[in-house]
Amino acid sequence: MLRRLLARIPLAYTLRRLLIAIPTLLVIITVAFFMMRAAPGGPFSADRKLPPETERAIAAKYGLDDPLHVQYFNYVGGVIQGDFGPSYKTKDKQVHEILADGLPISLTIGALSMALAILVGGALGIFAGLKQNTAGDYSVMGLAMAGISIPTFVTGPLLLLAFALGTGWFSAGGLGFPPALTYENITLPVITLALPQIAIISRLMRASVIETMRMPHIRTARAKGLPERTVIARHALPAAVLPMVSYIGPASARVLTGSVVVEKVFSLPGMGDYFVNGAIERDYTLVLGAVIVYAALIIAFNLIADILYAVLDPKVKYD
Asked if residue 257 has pLDDT above 70, the reply is no
Asked if residue 205 has pLDDT above 80, the reply is yes
Predicted confidence (pLDDT) per residue in 4-28, tens digit? 555 556 677 778 888 888 888 899 8
Contacts of 203 (CB under 8 A, 6+ apart): 125, 141, 144, 148
What does the DSSP 8-state code read for residue 94? B
* Residue 178 banded pLDDT, cuts 50, 70, 90: low
**Does residue 49 fall inside a structural domain?**
no
pLDDT at 120: 92
Average pLDDT over residues 266-290: 82
In the chain, % of residues over pLDDT 90: 2
Mean pLDDT of the chain: 80
pLDDT at 316: 57
**Does residue 72 fall inside a structural domain?**
no
Structural domain tally of the chain?
1
**Does residue 216 fall inside a structural domain?**
yes
* Residue 49 banded pLDDT, cuts 50, 70, 90: low
What does the DSSP 8-state code read for residue 91? T
For 5, 304, 307, the CA distances from 312, given in Å and listed in that order, are 8, 12, 9
Predicted confidence (pLDDT) per residue in 120-176, tens digit? 998 998 888 888 888 888 888 888 888 888 888 788 888 888 888 788 788 877 776
**Does residue 150 fall inside a structural domain?**
yes
Asked if residue 310 has pLDDT above 80, the reply is no
**Does residue 246 fall inside a structural domain?**
yes
User: CA 209 to CA 317: how far, in whole Å?
Assistant: 24
Residue 254 lies in domain:
96-312
- DSSP count for the chain of H helices, then E strands: 14, 0
Average pLDDT over residues 221-250: 81
Asked if residue 45 has pLDDT above 70, the reply is no
pLDDT at 220: 84
pLDDT at 6: 53
**Does residue 317 fall inside a structural domain?**
no
Asked if residue 84 has pLDDT above 80, the reply is yes
**Does residue 217 fall inside a structural domain?**
yes
pLDDT at 9: 63
CB 98, CB 90: distance < 8 Å: yes
Residue 86, classed as helix, strand or coil, is strand
Residue 94 dihedral angles phi and psi, to the nearest 5°: -85, 150
**Does residue 245 fall inside a structural domain?**
yes
Instruction: Indicate which CATH number applies to the domain containing 187.
Output: 1.10.3720.10
